[in-house]
């Protein structure tokens, strides 16, 4: 696959998975041996990805994830994203606050034969907790 085709697959994953919650469409983009590396409690593989997407969509009403930048080389694609929604459901044991959130993060994808084989994800969970009032804002 070309670099542009790999970027298109990753962009589609963000659109159908996190933003629309269409797990079937998102799972079609994942390789059978998909490996997930994220700082959230979840099962391994495709099941874990489904759990993360479902938990985020249940916690944040109107969740929309925008890809801000993408950089790719060979079989790797890096994406910087912004997620927006309203905290209307429990998240990581935290009760809903009704507050709007804007969370940034980055993910690196490794593709294999037109499928996402591996994903490493990092999100600004500290900033999220500050927006929800769970942690105080950083001092100046």
Q: How confident is the model at residue 138 (pLDDT cuts 50, 70, 90)?
A: confident
| Structural domain that includes position 125 | 3-131
CATH number of the CATH domain containing 103 = 3.10.450.50
Q: Is residue 26 part of a domain?
A: yes
Q: Is residue 89 part of a domain?
A: yes
Check residue 140 and give its pLDDT: 60
Q: Is residue 139 part of a domain?
A: no
Percent of all residues in the chain with a pLDDT value above 70, rounded to a whole number? 99
Q: Is residue 19 part of a domain?
A: yes
Q: Is residue 12 part of a domain?
A: yes
Q: How many CB atoms lie within 10 A of CB 69?
A: 9
DSSP string, 57-124: HHHEEEEEEEEEEEEEETTEEEEEEEEEEEE-S-BTTBPP---EEEEEEEEEEEEETTEEEEEEEEE-
Q: Is residue 136 part of a domain?
A: no
Q: Is residue 140 part of a domain?
A: no
pTM of the model: 0.92
Q: Is residue 91 part of a domain?
A: yes
23 DSSP 8-state letter: H
pLDDT in tens, 60-90: 999 999 999 999 999 999 999 999 999 999 9
């Amino acid at each position: 696959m070309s670099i542009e085709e790999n970027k298109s697959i990753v962009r589609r994953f963000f659109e159908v998975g996190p933003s629309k919650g269409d797990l079937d469409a998102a799972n079609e983009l994942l390789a059978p041996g998909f490996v997930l590396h994220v700082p959230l409690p979840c099962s391994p593989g495709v099941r874990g990805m489904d759990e993360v997407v479902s938990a985020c969509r249940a916690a944040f009403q109107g969740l929309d994830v925008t890809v801000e930048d993408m950089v790719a080389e060979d079989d790797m694609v890096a994406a910087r994203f912004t997620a927006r929604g309203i905290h209307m459901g429990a998240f990581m044991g935290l009760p809903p606050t009704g507050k709007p959130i804007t969370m940034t993060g980055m993910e690196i994808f490794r593709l294999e034969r037109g499928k996402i084989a591996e994903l490493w994800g990092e999100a600004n969970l500290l900033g999220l907790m500050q927006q929800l009032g769970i942690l105080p804002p950083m001092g100046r």
